[in-house]
Chains A and B, each alone.
Chain A
Amino acid sequence: MSDDYPSLLRSEQMSLVQLFVPTEVAHDTVAELGELGNVQFKDLNPNVNPFQRSFVGEIRRVDEMGRRVRFFSTQIEQEKDVVPIRPLYDSAPLIAVGPRAPQAMDELDVTLAAHEQRLTQMNETYQKLSERTKELIEARHVLRETAVFFDKAQDHQTDIRTSFDDSSAPLLQHDDRENQYSVGTGVQFDLEFVAGTIERVRVPTFERVLWRVLRGNLYMNHTDIVEPFVDPVTGAETRKNVFIIFAHGDALLAKIRKVAESMGATLYPIDANADKRSESLREVEGRLEDLQNVLYNTGSSRRTELTKIGESLRSWQDVVRKEKLIYETLNLFNFDVRRKTLIAEGWVPTRDITTIQLALRHATEESGTSVPPILHELRTQKTPPTFNRTNKFTEGFQTIMDSYGVASYQEVNPGLFAVITFPFLFAVMFGDIGHGFIIFVAALYMILAERKLARVDLGEIMGQFFYGRYIILLMGLFSMYTGLMYNDIFSKSLHIWHSAWDFPSNTTDTKLVGIDNGHRYSFGLDPGWHGADNNLVFVNSYKMKMSVVLGVIHMTFALCLQFPNHLKFKRPIDIYANFIPQMIFLQSIFGYLVICILYKWSVDWSNATTQPPSLLNMLISMFLSPGKVDPSEQLYAGQPFVQVVLLLLAAICVPWLLITKPYLAWKDMHKIKEQGYVSISGEGDGNGIHRNSSDEVLEGEEEGNGRDIAEDGDNGEHEQHDFGEVVIHQVIHTIEFCLGCISHTASYLRLWALSLAHAQLSEVLWSMTLEAWLEPNGVFDWIVLIVMGVFWFVLTVFILCLMEGLSAFLHALRLHWVEANSKHFEGGGYAFTPLTFANPDSKE
């Protein structure tokens, strides 16, 4: 099967291969294989500590380079003006393979180190300068604010002066220095003070602490500095306040200084003299100007440096990421010191072996040596990883199934069938031409703009929709189809063909009764039902039965998927012991129900002699009182007999399912014992492999690396058939299946419930918003109509398409995961995770 075109039905056939790579070409080989992306390497030294492996030194060097590159990118991100970063596809590729690769890496290392050094130096200078600038700015603020304060105080003083006697000294005056002051412009303040700046958040604490330390013997004033201070390194903003504190006595002032300093305040020496103050203000401003010039120059040269880095940042990131991956992979290899070769083992898709061979040859040529890596296949008993080749269309569907469980190797893959069944079951719940059209158009847009959108980071939510765009497209298409069946477009109905019902228009009755006019509506639901009183009753019964029919078909189909699995894995017993009884059980109860439903639909009950029977009651009484059917509710002649036979069939299936497999297993075991074989623990299947691979083992030993292969044989999975395990497993399986049949059939009724809810919700939305305003008279009505129309459309998109769509999606998902997958899916595999460089997610 492996020679065919790759199909989704089964996962790819995989081979375990061994690679002998000469050390010289090891790096280039892995680089080449990483570009190719279809080899999953196995860890050949699981017992070795990560730091004791062969290539730790290289990894460390790459890590260091990575750290530098990260440093650059954070620096660039923090820069306020955007520094252009040249995208990867635009920049010249760095050559990291070939004979010149080590040299290129050395050069890159040196370049990075040089850039880092320069950048750190500039940062330091810049920081120092901005620190100085900050101080000067603060000093300027302090000078200005205190000047304002002093001026105000002076005004107060003159006020006080006019209203009081000289003898009653003003508040800010002190006795023993009174003789110094003179009335006029040169007012002297003889209280000592401390001035400075402090972070705004700390002001209240500062005040409180000071007040307590000095016992209230202080006068403090503070004002906000309007503009924030920005830290040049982190870019964080701090807001500060200017404060000035008056107190008396050297001890107190020393205390204030100490508290202020420990609280993180900066103090500035301010002179009480106004002239000196303005002089120092001038000086500060002069220095500030100089500094700002220097700062500007430093900043611009730093920016130039960053721009230069930005040009090649992306390619550096890329190279560093790849190198790290390469060396991490090389660490998985077994290093043969004597021969200077690396031995690698890994899984590859059998189909791709030739491609890999080519890649290996290419790698050898690139690196300019003549010793090519040797690849050969190993035979093994180990279970290979599961690898389903997908394209952009099937990827989404496959992911849906993989997130439930990864299929066993070469098992029938439910992802293939989900391509059709998933959108279909969704559409049964979502059936509406209009809504289907909306999501179809949305998906179509995403697909047409695929190239553009794939490059943009869409964010988590939009990214997911984009990822599932093909699923959405099919969901939209199928919804339009089921919408046609339900004859629903935004809760209205289409009238394409002639309806089967006429409503007489000339009667005076309050109740109109439709008259059959002999036509038959050729496709979908007759629009005559729309708006009828018994519409809901009719649609309810129709959709409920339809969902049971669909459910049983879906389950039967899923059950049938067992069959190819049993054939493929050569388990004929499972066909007789599992598949056939399960099928009979399902069909004799629920298959019969489906046939009854279809039969009941086909009978014209208006002319029949009996009442139409309730199928639900029929099914219940089939179990409760087998063999008896009330003649007034009989569906067809001979019904009691048929039902008894079916019930017996189902009843036989249960012990059949329960006992056959354990019995066969027991007989098998017995036979082996009678033949005199005794299983040696742990050697059951191993022997076979040893014999099979003995040639290789010998060859390998000659080559000096027999250990790996021998270990392979030993590690192979020995399936110890424990009889008890088989029994328990089968009991659980039987119970699960029989009960599951009932509950799963009931579970499909969600198709009915959701589609009904959807139809009702869209009808409610229509009648509550648009319907009343559909015949506008005058301008006002038109405006209301437009507003309501927009309102209606927005709600349609968000509630009906998005919310309802998500809920229908969820239920379709459940029907696939639980109801269908439980019928056949083993899901015991592990995914194929090849070494690949194409990983857009990791942004390092």
Chain B
Amino acid sequence: MEALLFNVDGGFLEGTVRGYKAGILTQSHYANLTQCENLEDFRTQLSATDYGNFLANEPLPISTATIADKATQILVDQFKYLRNNAVEPLSKFLDYITYAYMIDNVILLITGTLHERDTHELIERCHPLGVFESMPALCVASNVEELFQSVLVETPLAPYFRDCLSASDLDDLNIEIIRNTVYKAYLEDFYAYCGSLGGPTADVMQRILSFEADRRTVNITINSFNTELSKDERARLFPAIGRLFPEGNNQLAKADEIDQVRSVCENVGEYRQFFADAGSSSNGPNDEDSGILSQLEDRFFQTEVHLNKMAFLQQFQYGVFYAYMKLKEQEIRNITWIAECIAQNAKDRIQDFIPIF
């Protein structure tokens, strides 16, 4: 059925996004980029790719922040082009993608206000895809209730915030709880929406979102060790989707140390290698933990990239749009990392990016 009617509305945009995807940097591009001596070389090298002359009009010297900004701007422009040409239900799907950025922006603003940063500076740091009209007013609010009533009530995020209205004061822990609760609600909602779209979109997207949920669950668990977060509260932050749900989530909710997390993850085939060969380099308990964590983070990213790449193997589905955004974000992280390494002359760590193709 998708094959019959998908192209009526989605064919052009799917073609466009697949064309964009063809411009994602490959291994050989990265090989060239990592050989650069300075950022000017870096610019020359990037101008031979799909990025083209995006840095041509920047005065020297170029900062890595400019590179990241300009690269993000390209992505944002592409996304806006897709969004403006989309019709229901793709437009709604694309909106869902922006909600994640909105949540990030909201949390960024609240945290910034809490630490009394300059509002304008904060707004500049917000991701352009997550900007909404009344966003600047967020910095007025001093508690969640007010936050919700004054600003968020008219945004699409409103339903996600309903669950966390109980948390009264805004402090770092509460903000973290809010972030996770909201994100949980968002993931579940997006998951349900993809399910309602049905067909291959549901297949592909639910696979990606399940992983995303599991990643959050594991991260929350690990980060909540030795904090004042109670186990009950922790359990409430876990998204009710994903491959670890429900029994894995229950066990994680009770976990006290990283070995328990490992045993839970080993129940799922794909997650088994996350903790594999982690224990080999153990000098002390703290060193080991941080080693495992950074390694875990990398493996999460790798799996995410892998899943997103898989999304392109199926046609007639919206997963490609989500996957493209995520892959491109990873690519921007990669080139920023390489640029940073070049700028700070840290050549030994320059290979620590996550190749996409």
Binding site for B on A (CB under 8 A): 49-51, 56, 60, 63-64, 67, 70-71, 202, 205, 208-209, 212-213, 255, 258-259, 261-264
B140 touches A258 (CB 8 A): yes
Interface residues of B in 11-63 (CB under 8 A from A): 32, 35-37, 40-41, 44-45, 48, 56-57, 59-60
A264 touches B136 (CB 8 A): yes
Q: Which of A51, A63, A209 contacts B134 (CB 8 A)?
A: A209
Q: Counting chain A CB atoms within 10 Å of each CB, which of B35, B45, B134, B151 scores highest?
A: B134
Task: Bin chain B's interface residue count.
Answer: 20 to 34
Q: Which of B44, B60, B137 contacts A209 (CB 8 A)?
A: B137
Closest to A59 in B: B44
Interface CB pairs A-B, < 8 A, 11:
A51-B37, A205-B134, A208-B134, A208-B154, A212-B151, A212-B153, A213-B137, A258-B139, A259-B140, A262-B138, A263-B136
Residues of A within 8 A of B120 (CB): 262
A209 touches B151 (CB 8 A): yes
Number of A-B contacts defined by CB within 8 Å: 58
B59 touches A67 (CB 8 A): yes
Q: Which of B44, B133, B139 contacts A205 (CB 8 A)?
A: B133
B35 touches A49 (CB 8 A): yes
Closest to A202 in B: B133
Minimal beta-carbon separation of A699 from chain B (angstroms): 36
With A209-B150, A209-B151 as given contacts, are A51 and B41 in contact (CB-CB < 8 Å)? yes
Please report the C-alpha to C-alpha distance between residue A50 and residue B45 in the assembled complex, in whole angstroms: 7
The SS class assigned to the B binding surface is helix
Q: Counting chain B CB atoms within 10 Å of each CB, which of A64, A71, A208 scores highest?
A: A208
Residues of A within 8 A of B137 (CB): 209, 213, 259, 262-263
Minimal beta-carbon separation of B165 from chain A (angstroms): 15
B56 touches A51 (CB 8 A): no
Please report the C-alpha to C-alpha distance between residue A24 and residue B322 in the assembled complex, in whole angstroms: 56
Minimal beta-carbon separation of A668 from chain B (angstroms): 42
- Per-position binary interface string of chain B over residues 64-104, scored 1 when its CB falls under 8 Å from any chain A CB and 0 otherwise: 00000000000000000000000000000000000000000
Residues of A within 8 A of B168 (CB): none
With A60-B40, A262-B119 as given contacts, are A70 and B57 in contact (CB-CB < 8 Å)? yes
Residues of B within 8 A of A209 (CB): 134, 137, 150-151
11 new A-B contacts, CB < 8 A, other than A49-B45, A71-B57, are A50-B45, A51-B45, A67-B57, A202-B133, A205-B134, A213-B146, A258-B119, A258-B139, A262-B123, A263-B136, A263-B137
Residues of B within 8 A of A205 (CB): 133-134
Interface residues of B in 110-150 (CB under 8 A from A): 119-120, 123, 133-134, 136-140, 146, 149-150
A261 touches B57 (CB 8 A): no
Minimal beta-carbon separation of B265 from chain A (angstroms): 42
B35 touches A262 (CB 8 A): no
Closest to A214 in B: B150
Residues of A within 8 A of B150 (CB): 209, 212-213
Please report the C-alpha to C-alpha distance between residue A263 and residue B138 in the assembled complex, in whole angstroms: 10
Residues of B within 8 A of A262 (CB): 119-120, 123, 136-140
Residues of A within 8 A of B154 (CB): 208
Residues of A within 8 A of B44 (CB): 50-51, 56, 60
Minimal beta-carbon separation of B271 from chain A (angstroms): 40
Binding site for A on B (CB under 8 A): 32, 35-37, 40-41, 44-45, 48, 56-57, 59-60, 119-120, 123, 133-134, 136-140, 146, 149-151, 153-154
The SS class assigned to the A binding surface is helix
A261 touches B45 (CB 8 A): no
Q: Which 8 A-B pairs have the closest CB atoms?
A: A262-B136, A51-B41, A209-B137, A213-B150, A212-B150, A262-B119, A205-B133, A51-B44
Residues of A within 8 A of B149 (CB): 212
Closest to B139 in A: A262
Q: Counting chain A CB atoms within 10 Å of each CB, which of B35, B57, B134, B136 scores highest?
A: B136
Please report the C-alpha to C-alpha distance between residue A259 and residue B139 in the assembled complex, in whole angstroms: 8
Residues of A within 8 A of B140 (CB): 213, 255, 258-259, 262
Please report the C-alpha to C-alpha distance between residue A205 and residue B44 in the assembled complex, in whole angstroms: 44
Closest to A52 in B: B35
Minimal beta-carbon separation of A204 from chain B (angstroms): 9
Please report the C-alpha to C-alpha distance between residue A258 and residue B146 in the assembled complex, in whole angstroms: 15
Please report the C-alpha to C-alpha distance between residue A51 and residue B38 in the assembled complex, in whole angstroms: 10
Please report the C-alpha to C-alpha distance between residue A688 and residue B151 in the assembled complex, in whole angstroms: 82
Minimal beta-carbon separation of A96 from chain B (angstroms): 22
Closest to A263 in B: B136
Please report the C-alpha to C-alpha distance between residue A60 and residue B36 in the assembled complex, in whole angstroms: 14
Please report the C-alpha to C-alpha distance between residue A70 and residue B140 in the assembled complex, in whole angstroms: 43
B32 touches A49 (CB 8 A): yes
Residues of B within 8 A of A56 (CB): 41, 44
Please report the C-alpha to C-alpha distance between residue A209 and residue B149 in the assembled complex, in whole angstroms: 10
With A262-B139, A263-B136 as given contacts, are A51 and B36 in contact (CB-CB < 8 Å)? yes
Please report the C-alpha to C-alpha distance between residue A67 and residue B55 in the assembled complex, in whole angstroms: 11
Closest to A56 in B: B44
Please report the C-alpha to C-alpha distance between residue A262 and residue B131 in the assembled complex, in whole angstroms: 13
Minimal beta-carbon separation of A113 from chain B (angstroms): 11
Please report the C-alpha to C-alpha distance between residue A382 and residue B314 in the assembled complex, in whole angstroms: 44
Please report the C-alpha to C-alpha distance between residue A591 and residue B191 in the assembled complex, in whole angstroms: 71
Please report the C-alpha to C-alpha distance between residue A205 and residue B153 in the assembled complex, in whole angstroms: 13
